[in-house]
Amino acid sequence: MVEFNKFDVEAAKTLPFYLVFDVSYSMSDVIDAVNGCLSELKDAIGNMPLLADIARVSVISFADSAQVEIPMGDISLASEIYQGHSLLQVRGGTSFSAAFRELKSAIERDIADLKLEGERKVFRPTAFFITDGEPLDRDWQQAFSELTTIKQYPLLYPFGFGDANESTLAAITYPQNRENGKKPAQYFTVKAGASPGAAIEKIAKVVIQSVVSFTQSATEGAPAVQIDTRGTEDVVETHYLDEM
């Protein structure tokens, strides 16, 4: 287990994460794996109590509507996740508008609440957006614009598999350039031939490792988003916007 001293944790920023999952009917074959991802993340953070003191996680599901499944907080204490319980259930079609508007509302509410706690500064939120398809709604670009123009806009990392279109994933990657243009933005797809189950398993691994890596960097006084794809390169493919 990684050890951190008390000073590191007290000096670190609070790091808010959003896991935004497509739960439309096309996700039926992999929804159990998605629920398993939540259990794994809960255990990973719970096994590192000092990281749990810094990371704050919220889970949002979307189909033709969107809702907060787990409110922003210490996910290692989330009572919604327990053995044998499938928190996320498939429903409806795929509305990106619903997802973006729910995420916007959650961010505006959660960041204000975290700042009121007053113990630490709050880092810009990071959102992992996981989908297996294309949006069925025509006005999703407007909802995306509303999300990305708020003061607390998220660093948005899309992960797509199945029928997800690469051009759409690139379009919802935000900001398009990061770290003053020195580092290109990233989105992620699954390599041809990978099964949906393998896709979700590896995407979950990237998300969990990235949350842990980012949080660990905060304890060292220099929080930086680190998308950790170790052990997933056989399935997950990283794309940089400057390569398009």
Q: Other CB atoms closer than 10 Å to residue 142's CB: what's the count?
A: 13
* Range of the structural domain that residue 214 is part of: 13-240
Assess if residue 4 is contained within a domain: no
Assess if residue 105 is contained within a domain: yes
Assess if residue 156 is contained within a domain: yes
Tokens for 181, please give them: 């243009």
Assess if residue 144 is contained within a domain: yes
Residue appearing with tokens 């580092």 = 183
Q: Other CB atoms closer than 10 Å to residue 234's CB: what's the count?
A: 10
Q: Which helix (H) or strand (E) holds 210?
A: helix 196-219
Tokens for 91, please give them: 């429903």
Closest by Cα among 120, 184, 109 to 152: 109
Assess if residue 75 is contained within a domain: yes
Per-residue pLDDT of 40-58, as tens digits, reads 999 999 998 888 888 999 9
Assess if residue 5 is contained within a domain: no
pTM: 0.92
Tokens for 67, please give them: 């809702």
Q: How many domains does the structure of the chain reveal?
A: 1
CATH, residue 159: 3.40.50.410
Assess if residue 66 is contained within a domain: yes
pLDDT, position 215: 84
Assess if residue 3 is contained within a domain: no
- The answer to whether residue 223 scores a pLDDT higher than 90 is no
Per-residue pLDDT of 135-189, as tens digits, reads 999 999 999 999 999 999 999 999 999 999 999 999 999 998 765 555 679 999 9
